Amino acid sequence: MKTYLTPVKEIERKWYVVDAQEKVLGRLATEIATRLRGKHKPSYSTFMDNGDFIVVINAEKIKLTGKKWDDKKYYRHSGYMGGITEINAKDLLEKEPTDLIVKAVKGMLPKNTLGRAQLKKLKVYAGGEHPHMAQNPETLEL
The pLDDT of residue 26 is 97
**Domains delineated in the chain:** 13-64+97-139 (3.90.1180.10)
Q: What 3-state class would DSSP assign to 15?
A: strand
**Interval 3-43: pLDDT, tens:** 788 898 999 999 999 999 999 999 999 999 999 999 999 99
Strands, E assignment, 1-142: 15-19, 53-57, 73-77, 84-88, 122-124, 138-139
What is the pTM assigned to this prediction? 0.93
Which tens digits make up the pLDDT trace of 54-112?
999 999 999 999 999 999 999 999 999 999 999 999 999 999 999 999 999 999 999 99
